[in-house]
Structure 1
Amino acid sequence: MESAMDVFDPENDSNREQFRRFRRKRYVAKADGGQYIISIFRKRQSTSSVSPIEGNSASRFTDARLLYDDDNMQPRPNVALLLEDIKQEVENFDSEGLDVVGKAGSHLLKSCKREEDVLAEGGESTFILFASLLDSAIQGLMPFSDLILQFENTCRNVSESIRYGNSGRHRVFEDKLMRQRAQLLLDEAASWSLLWYLFGKGSEVHPEDLVLLPTTSHQEACQYVMGDHTAQLCLRIVQWLEGLASEALDLEEKVRGSYVGSYLPSSGVWHHTQRFLKKRNDDPAIVQHLDFDAPTREVAQLLPDDKKQDESLLEDVWILLRAGRLEEACELCRSAGQSWRAATLTSFGGLDLFPSVEALQKNGKSRTLQAFELESGIGRQRCLWKWASYYTSEKIADQDGGKYEAAVYASRCGNLKRMLPVCTNWESACWAMAKSWLDTQVDLYLGQVQQDELDPSKSSCDSVMNGTSRQERQSLQVPLGPESWPCHVLDQQPLDLPALLQKLHSSDIVHEVVCRGCKDHHRQIEMNLMTGDIAQLLDLLWSWMSPLEDDKDVLRPHIDPQMIRFGAHLVLVLRHLLAGEVDTFREKLMTVGDFILQMYTMFLFSKNHEELIGIYASQLAPHRCIDLFVNMMELRMNDSSEYFFGFDSIAARYIINRVLQRSRDIKIGNCDKTFYVSEQKHSQSLQKATAIQWLCFTPPSTINDLEVIKAKLLLRALMHSNVLFREFALVSMWRVPRLPLGAHMILSCLSELLKQPMDTLLSFDGDNMSENLHEFEDWREYYSCDAAYRKWLKLELENANCSRPT
């Protein structure tokens, strides 16, 4: 029993399966078209996956074993029986058997093909979904902060669809590939979530309706965190990591029907130790009483079975605390018969003292806390509870207690040393460091507030909080006062955020899995976002996806297409979110960002997603956009494969609509305000009329349906020209001799295209072409008369200015 605890692996549920409490699980049984929901108690299913090499080495010899189902594996008992099966299969081979095998092999190949199609569709669907969402944000239909959340939800939904949506049977390699793709999308969702917490969430303000006078320690802590940049950054990182863990629990509940925290009543009571004591066994290593303080007071242990049950319970409590679910963790302890433990997890009757606006609103006007602190002093009860939690975690660890029990109490006071042993992934270790650092900053600030109330001249916490060395901290140990953390506790905390992230790379401090996680692409992206080093982030993204040196058109073989998509959308989101704050890295965000966007558009072009290219090409610099389309036209014209006009028609139509729409969005504020209004209108009309030039070109003669394309371009030009003619006619009614230059530029641009015979023009899309063509002719006649009128007006004004002879 004891040896099993020494090698207890928190990532492997199989070791604690026999100690797991019964779970409530829902099953749906289908019969005669009806569904019956059955709720039964069963043990929690293990989350550990079976190794493809170890669990499926014998599955390749028969057609039924080529595919496997996670819930219906049939392992062979030993090698002898496996060889006997092979021998029997070989002896039974005949011509009929070969036909059957051939048919079965054909069926399996078709099945495998369908699985590959499913995988392809699951991955490529993100390209279309992201393009649609981005287009809505660019057009102003949603703010970019909401766009980030939509990106996160899209990644989670597609990941869930890939991983759990298809209930069919898969080969080992296909199942592994699906898991990897689903996990990559979850990692991307985590990066979008962090981006929202750092840049999209916005600043929070202290609710005025919750202000208490005199203030409480919780209000002081919240105000400090809202005003201090470093503390606010720590808070958002903690909230981000807790949100990820909470999302993982929600997904587990959705897929399995339950998650950690479902225990039978009184399952946390030490029944084995109770029966042992009733037999009057005298063992000094076993506790003699059953109160919760007995193991610490008597320096003894529970029986191994009770100890493992407690550790299993506390592991689930740790998981809930890691997800920011304090209330659920307390309720879990109560449901297991350990109400005393629930009381030790919180202070002041269950108040949540996390320094956030959400916790402040949840607590409301905490008169109880105010009454306590009016009597004993601000923050003193909080300090006492923190010290109790700290010594509890240290005492449990010193007596070889459970590591999860020590970690649970360490999380309540920021004792990083006792939390890291149970942090076996990057997110958990980062959460432990950030939360511990945040708690320490708040504790030091509240300690300073206490000292200022007693004697302002002895306040010395500023020097500690502003990054002093460890030798200086030791010299400040006495002035810090008896209620401050000792130096060896403060030395656990980093001096700044880069130092915190550097600790994640140290194998001497964290688990080796955490060190390996720092090399993951999305973990590197997230660490750069935390430090705000956007320039380094852009260089990192470009280094992953830049073309090979010997061939500029070939992507690096190791880069995932989803990473290219992520990089392109990240660049566009950062450009909009940091539009007024990117002076330090504006040039790199534009230049390197254009490289990434151009790479993504070429990738879409190579995957026949021409309908999406216009959304991203319109965000490039003008000269890069021209080079991009020239390159794509050359590639398409030199392509030996059959080409269909319909592939590019949607992209071309989108680009034309966007250019024409943006050409009409020119505002007066963009012009020189020293001009008169009439001069401004003339300048704007010229800029708007130049957009027609996009439509006045002759397509290459090598493409199919040349005449149809020319007719469509002419029809679109006529439609937009008529819209501009109406606008110009209204704004050019000034009694001035100057001609409306915008209208006459349009007439000159379309003069060559309208020299075709009328019957030829009306043969394409007759009704629309006829209606717009006749309106265009009417406007041409109107502006001809308008030109004659303005010529006469010019002469009249010149004659009026001439002096009469005396």
Structure 2
Amino acid sequence: MSECNTWRLVHGLYRDRVLHQDDDDNGMGGMLGDLIHPLSEKDLAENLYNNESSVRECQLIIDWLEKISGDEWNLMSRRPDVGHFTDRTVGWENTLHQLQNSVVPYMSTRSIVSSLDPDAPLRENRPLHDLDVEDEERLLDQVFFEIRCGRLSRAQELCVHCGQAWRGAVLEGWRLHHDPNYRTQEEGTPTQKLPVEGNPNRDVWKLCAWRLCEEPNAHPRDKSILGALCGHLGALLPACSGWEDLLWAYLRAAVDRRVEREIRDNAIRQYVPMPNKYWLNVEGIFREIRANELAKHEAKKPERVIQELLALDLVPDLLERMSEWVETTNCQPQFVRFLAHLVIILRLVGRSQPQELGDNVLRAYIKILVDEGEPNLVAYYVAMMPDDDQIDLYATFLESVTDSEKRIECLRAAEKYELNIKRITQKVVQNIRNRRTELEDTDETLARKASDEDFSKISALDWVVFYPQQRGEAIWQANALVRTFIGQGKLEAARLAFDKIPADSIEMLMTQFKCKVDEKKKVDVNLPPRISSAIKEYLCHKAYLDAQDGFSDWFHHFHNTKPTPPPEPKNKDDFAEKVAHEHKLKMFNEELERWKVIMKHQTKSVKSQLYNIIVFPDGGWLVDENNEDEGRSNQLRSLRSICIPEIVMLLHKVLHSVEEYDECIDLAPLIMDETPGLYKVTIYLCF
């Protein structure tokens, strides 16, 4: 309910501030000069409301407080009502009955008044009949509450219902005097006479009401009722029970005083002077409320602080307080939601400075939505943040999304709210890739196996593969991840990361950048340097992984599939065993020949794959002369120093195993050749 009330306040205040932001500079001098007849009290008050935003906003807050009170009354399941206790009758019927009859069944326990005019109890200092006192208390309570709810006409109806029409007439005495017939005469020939509004002797009524409020013997509730209508703050305060009541009382008195000053300063008639105490200004209304024992604790509540700062139009202070609240650990999600939407509304009306404080509030709410996992909601609110924050926040959200269908939904939401998908997907892959992996087991063999964290990094590459326009970025990010895995010796993970890139990616990039390949298979370079570097590194990784896979297959066939010769027969003189042995030996020789043929092809293939790295074209394997990223350059040099010696040793092992010793010796001059410069990274090898 508190949030609903705050939104009502925001609507009322900022609707007025937006609609009348240019009107307050216009005075009413022109209106005064154009009119033949002086303005009435009502006209003067209306002009004051039109020209002074502070008075108008105070009245809006009063209306807001009265609406809250009325809603609370309507929600009460057992609310008291005078109509439940009495039917239409004369006023003070029990007192009247006792005065008219010497003997009555229910005699009052005290000596009662001797007359029944409205001033009799106060003048004679005697009470009414006991039953009438109860009815009077009940009536005054409800009349005051109806006034507190802004329902003056309902309060008057209650007075008439209880036979106190005079009290209803008293409640009418505050109305400003206005004769509309003067205006119709100025506008043209009047067709009919209009009724005069208000009280022509309002000043006399007001002075009498003020004096009654000062009367110590008057009923407190009676004083509160008249105090609300004549601006007597002292009579109102005893009837207040909380922050809203106090604010209503202070503002009623302040507005009454300001309107009265405006009327007396501009009207031509002479008014009965009010006591000096009436003109004392109420400075710092909210400060006074915070110091009041009834409301000082309630005034510290966040919702009251928000309402206060909205009323005072202190938006920077409000944003600062909201930013502080969302940083606390006990700030409830629903309250953060309310604060975020308040920031949005303030921005819509052009009151969002300082911007960074509002961003803090929205950021806190977005983090809550991220935990909820609703892509459309997250994207909607992220779109309200500055560009860099949009990238960071939405990328953080995407890090937690692993389901393929949910990922597509997230990207569709980003498209819907026009987020920078290219930068976001790049950021999310970088964030996941840069996570540090903590190895729980230091065993080298286990450390080379892909962990769950490694699989999440590999899966993150899907973010940059969804859109064909990002294929270059996908290759770049995959290369970075493959470099890391190769450096850690995780060839399985490196292969999985490499395979995330669709096989047609390079062809797609060539098409996108309109590259042409001539008859000599030479590419007409139209590629940006970053794309060109990414493609070359991609091909380098492909060559290395293919070589590793090829060597693994060769090693397996060489050591695990070679036929084993049959054992010698135990009894060489046994003819049957001898024949069986000869048959097995024949089968062995046939299998051995087949194995040698297969190994010949395998050896040729793996030699080609290993040589592809050693004699890699265009400067060498993982050589990028156009690279401007120092970190990447260091990684490439490190991988060359690790992988090239490894590949040379694998090639030497293959050649030595198949007894191609001449080619083993030929490796030395190849390594020492200045053109590829392999000796710079294989200097520790000894042959």
The TM-score, its normalising length taken from structure 2, stands at 0.55
Report SS of the residue matched to 1:342.
helix
Give the CA RMSD over aligned residues: 4.0
- 8 Å contact from structure 2 (residues 398, 410) kept in 1: no
1:391 corresponds to which letter in structure 2? Answer: R
Q: Residue type of the partner of 2:343?
A: V
Distance 1:394 1:650, change over 3 A: farther
Q: What displacement does 1:380 show?
A: 5.2
Deviations 1:615-640 (A, max 9, x none): 11111111122222343445x27xxx
How far has the Cα of 1:214 moved from its partner? Answer: 4.8
Alpha-carbon deviation of 1:393?
Answer: 3.0
1:599 aligns with 2:414: no
Give the deviation of 1:516 after TM superposition.
2.0
Q: 1:249 aligns with which of 45, 49, 73?
A: 73
Q: Where does residue 335 of structure 2 map in the other structure?
A: 563
Distance 1:309 1:716, change over 3 A: farther
Cα distance, 1:266 vs structure 2:
3.2
* Cα pair distance change 1:613/1:340, threshold 3 Å: same
- Within 5 A, what are the aligned runs for 1:153-232? 186-201=1-16, 202-203=18-19, 214-232=38-56
Aligned residues: 430
Q: Which residue of 1 aligns with 2:87?
A: 265
* SS of 1:320 mapped into structure 2: helix
When residues 646 and 194 of structure 1 are mapped into structure 2, their CA distance, relative to the original with a 3 A threshold, is: farther
Residue 301 of structure 1: which of 123, 127, 145 is its match? 127
Does residue 336 (structure 1) correspond to residue 108 (structure 2)? The answer is no
Residues 631 and 711 from structure 1, CA distance in 2 versus in 1: closer, same or farther, beyond 3 angstroms?
Answer: closer
Match of 2:373 among 608, 623, 636: 608
Within a 5 Å distance, the mapping from 1:623-638 to structure 2 comes to: 623-634=388-399, 636=400
Kept in 1: contact 2:369–2:378 (CA 8 A)? yes
- Once residues 621 and 706 of structure 1 are traced to their aligned partners in structure 2, the CA distance between those partners, rounded to angstroms, is 25
Unaligned runs of 5+ in 1: 1-185, 355-364, 373-378, 455-480, 547-555, 638-642, 661-689, 718-751, 762-776, 781-806
1: distance between equivalents of 2:242 and 2:251?
14
**Secondary structure in 2 aligned to 1:484?**
coil
Partner of 2:222: helix, strand, or coil? helix
What amino acid is aligned across from residue 276 of structure 2 in structure 1? C
Give the AA of the match of 2:139: L
Secondary structure of the structure 1 residue equivalent to 2:291: coil
- The whole-number CA distance in structure 1 between the counterparts of 2:36 and 2:466 is 69
Shift of 1:521: 1.1
The reply to whether residue 390 of structure 1 matches residue 184 of structure 2 is no
Q: Give the structure 2 partner of residue 78 of structure 1.
A: none
Q: SS at 1:399's partner residue?
A: coil
2:320 alignment partner in structure 1: 539
The letter of the residue matching 1:220 is L
Q: Secondary structure at the match of 1:702?
A: helix
Instruction: Report what 2:226 is aligned to.
Output: 409
Distance 1:400 1:384, change over 3 A: closer
- The answer to whether the aligner puts 1:657 opposite 2:416 as a matched pair is yes
Structure 1 Cα separation of the partners of residues 315 and 218 of structure 2: 45
- State the distance in 1 between where 2:116 and 2:232 align: 28
State the alpha-carbon separation in 2 of the partners of residues 645 and 221 from structure 1: 66
Following TM superposition, by how much is the alpha carbon of 1:290 offset from its aligned partner in structure 2, in angstroms? Answer: 2.3
1:702 maps to amino acid: S
2:290 to 474, 496, 505: 505
Partner Cα separation in structure 2 for residue 302 and residue 521 of structure 1: 47
**C-alpha distance in 2, partners of 1:754/1:212?**
90
Distance 2:95 2:296 in 1: 40
The 1:697/1:533 distance shift into structure 2, 3 A limit, reads closer
Kindly state the Cα deviation for residue 297 of structure 1 after the two structures are TM-superposed: 2.9
Q: 1:516 is matched with which residue?
A: 297
Map of 2:277 onto structure 1: 488
Give the distance between the partners of 1:249 and 1:529, measured in 2 at CA: 25
Instruction: Compute the displacement of 1:614 (Å).
Output: 0.9
Once the two structures are TM-superposed, the CA of residue 337 in structure 1 deviates from its matched residue by 2.2
Q: Deviations over 1:52-72 (max 9, x none)?
A: xxxxxxxxxxxxxxxxxxxxx
- After the TM superposition, which residues 631-710 of structure 1 pair with which residues of structure 2 at under 5 Å, given as runs? 631-634=396-399, 636=400, 644-645=403-404, 649-659=408-418, 702=456
Deviation at 1:604, TM superposition (A): 1.6
Q: String of CA shifts for 1:518-544, please: whole Å, max 9, x gaps.
A: 111111111111222112111211222
Residue 153 of structure 2 corresponds to which residue in structure 1?
327
Distance 1:366 1:754 in 2: 93
Q: Structure 2: which 5+ residue stretches go unaligned? A: 179-191, 433-454, 472-500, 515-687
CA 1:260–1:656: 2 relative to 1, 3 Å: farther
Structure 1: how far apart are the matches of 2:45 and 2:177? Answer: 9
Q: State the distance in 2 between where 1:692 and 1:647 align.
A: 18
1:317–1:332 Cα contact (<8 Å) kept: yes
Q: Deviations over 1:657-705 (max 9, x none)?
A: 2217xxxxxxxxxxxxxxxxxxxxxxxxxxxxx9777789997873899
Specify whether residues 622 and 416 from structure 1 end up closer, same or farther in structure 2 by C-alpha distance, changes over 3 A only: same
Question: Residues 212, 574 of structure 1: CA spacing in aligned structure 2 closer, same or farther, 3 A cutoff?
Answer: farther
Q: Is the 8 A contact 1:504 1:515 kept in 2?
A: yes
Is the CA contact 2:113–2:126 (under 8 Å) kept in the aligned structure 1? yes
Q: How far is the alpha carbon of 1:448 from its aligned partner?
A: 1.3
> What is the CA–CA distance in structure 1 between the aligned matches of 2:368 and 2:74, rounded to whole Å?
35
Please show how residues 90-129 of structure 1 align to structure 2 within 5 Å: none
- Equivalent residues of 2:110, 2:127 under 8 A apart: no
Question: Amino acid of the residue matched to residue 91 of structure 2?
Answer: V
Deviations for 1:745-790, whole angstroms, at most 9, x for unmatched residues? xxxxxxx9894699xx9xxxxxxxxxxxxxxx99x9xxxxxxxxxx
> Would you say the 8 A contact 2:108–2:129 is kept in 1?
no
Q: Given the superposition, is the C-alpha separation of residues 633 and 691 from structure 1 closer, same or farther in structure 2, using an over 3 Å criterion?
A: closer
CA contact (8 A) 1:447 1:484 kept: no
Mapped contact 1:420–1:429 kept (Cα < 8 A): yes
- Quickly say closer, same or farther: Cα 1:693–1:602, change in 2 above 3 A: closer
Q: How do 1:8-23 residues align onto structure 2 when only pairs under 5 Å count?
A: none
2:96 matched to 1:274?
Answer: yes
Deviations 1:336-381 (A, max 9, x none): 2222211111139xx6889xxxxxxxxxx994436x8xxxxxx852
Per-residue CA deviations over 1:1-44 (Å, capped at 9, x if unaligned) read xxxxxxxxxxxxxxxxxxxxxxxxxxxxxxxxxxxxxxxxxxxx
- CA shift at 1:435, angstroms? 0.9
Alpha-carbon displacement from aligned partner over 1:408-437 (angstroms, at most 9, x marks no partner): 111110111011101101111100110111
CA contact (8 A) 2:254 2:282 kept: yes
In the TM superposition, what is the alpha-carbon distance from 1:607 to its structure 2 partner? 3.3
- The 1:538/1:380 distance shift into structure 2, 3 A limit, reads same
Q: How many angstroms apart in 2 are the aligned matches of 1:268 and 1:428?
A: 32
Tell me, in whole angstroms, the C-alpha distance in 1 between the residues paired with 2:171 and 2:503.
Answer: 82
Preserved contact between residue 614 and residue 652 of structure 1 (Cα < 8 Å): no
Is the 1:567–1:596 contact (alpha carbons within 8 Å) kept by the matching residues of 2?
Answer: yes
| Structure 1 residue 233 displacement after superposition | 2.4
